[in-house]
Copies of this chain bind each other. A is one copy, B any other.
Amino acid sequence: MTVEEMQIVLNDMGKKAKRAATALAILPDEAKQLCLFKMAEAIEKNAAAIQNANEKDLNLASENGLSPAMIDRLTLNDSRISGMADGMRTVAKQLDPVGKVLSKTVRPNGLEITKISVPFGVIGIIYEARPNVTADAAGICIKAGNAVILRGGKEAFNSNMAIAGVLNQAAITCGLPDGVVQIIPWQGHEAVKLMLKMDNYIDLVIPRGGERLIRAVVADATMPVLKHYKGVCHLYLDEGFDYDLALKIIVNAKCQRPGVCNALETLLVDRFAAGEFLPRFAAVMKEQNVELHGDETVCKYCPEALPATEDDYYAEYLSLTLAVRVVDGVDEAISHINTYGSRHSDGILSFNDANVNAFTAMVDSSTVYVNASTRFTDGGEFGMGAEIGISTDKLHARGPMGADELTTYKYIVRGNGQIR
């Protein structure tokens, strides 16, 4: 297929998505709920067809020598199929993010100005291997009144096509126009490049995946992008904190799931805490198989630590490696975090109110923790229900993004003949 032919198909998809979005935008919440329940049911009813498609992807994956971990992520077993359906039902039952009155004022001239939450319109989602994202992302976008155009990873191509088809068909049986859920029907990069120029049809793009994918999307997209580059998360241990509690929190933040964006990557230790804390810390980290990259003082107290370089402070290891640095108090900790961090999730462990207040006020991150693990930065943990991602941007949405963050607003101004 030539680029010109692709463009024609994509334009048609854009038009369909716009039409579907207009219908979705005025759908009452009960109707959206019904539709999401129908979609959940359709996933279960079509489980065999979805799993057949998944089988094709799995065969190709074996042929192409994908790692067992990748193949596991790709596999849609029965429990993952019901997981998708259940996720859809959970999203369905959330509070409607659309139509919230955000503010209402009556001006001296009698004009009544209401600021009300409304859907974006059409959202593009670009994601990597896990095929369940197809259902999860579609569900949350639809709950917020948006149509979606999806672009999944090539490894899950057949699975994604099957899931998206089932969801779109279910929306049609609910009386919605064709185009509520669409998926880019080609695997090559050319199609993504074209998709990212469709700013006349797609109001917002959300890339989900590694930093390379996200930087490529930002470079190409002509529409707004909500994104999350990386999570270089810090904890700062203040003098006088409960060091046993500190160790419990640090082990959780670093080791419970080291491969995720809210896992700990750098520990900062107040100089006055170093002598008492670091030797115990070194022993616990050894037990947990965590490799330490530390500054001079850290290496003195932690005999197996390797010397840290500047690069260690920028690193998102996503593994059992931890950078450790001794700092002169909370101000140096703040300055380190604002210099090397990624504005994701950073915390202070302290019983000193002045230090806690300085830290929460001056650390420029989406989520700032006091005396808790950084692992809580997550839509579910925040009580948002489903999550579409975590934003390290400052514009529009910061931190975990749920259905509320997939809406914008408009002003409705009611008068009785006012002129200026």
Interface set of A (CB-CB < 8 Å, partner B): 22, 25-26, 105, 107, 111, 113, 120-121, 203-204, 224, 226, 242, 245, 248-249, 252-253, 256, 338, 347, 360-362, 364-373, 375-376, 381-383, 393-396, 398-399, 408-420
Contact = CB atoms under 8 A, between A and B. Distances in A.
A393 B120 CA distance: 10
A25 B394 CA distance: 15
A203 B394 contact: yes
B252 A367 contact: no
Given A111-B376, A121-B394, A376-B418, 15 more contacts: A26-B361, A107-B383, A224-B393, A226-B395, A364-B410, A366-B411, A369-B415, A371-B417, A372-B414, A372-B418, A372-B419, A373-B420, A375-B419, A396-B396, A399-B410
A399 B411 CA distance: 8
A362 B375 CA distance: 41
B411 A370 contact: no
Nearest to A375: B420
Contacts of A368: 410-413
A382 B113 contact: yes
Scoring A249, A368, A413 by chain B CB atoms within 10 A of each residue's CB, the highest score goes to A413
29 contacts: A22-B338, A25-B362, A107-B382, A111-B372, A111-B376, A111-B381, A113-B382, A121-B394, A204-B395, A242-B417, A248-B419, A249-B417, A252-B419, A256-B420, A366-B411, A367-B411, A368-B411, A369-B415, A370-B415, A371-B417, A372-B414, A372-B415, A372-B419, A375-B419, A375-B420, A381-B420, A394-B408, A395-B396, A396-B396
Nearest to A408: B394
Nearest to A224: B395
Nearest to A420: B375
Contacts of A420: 252, 256, 373, 375-376, 381
A370 B414 contact: yes
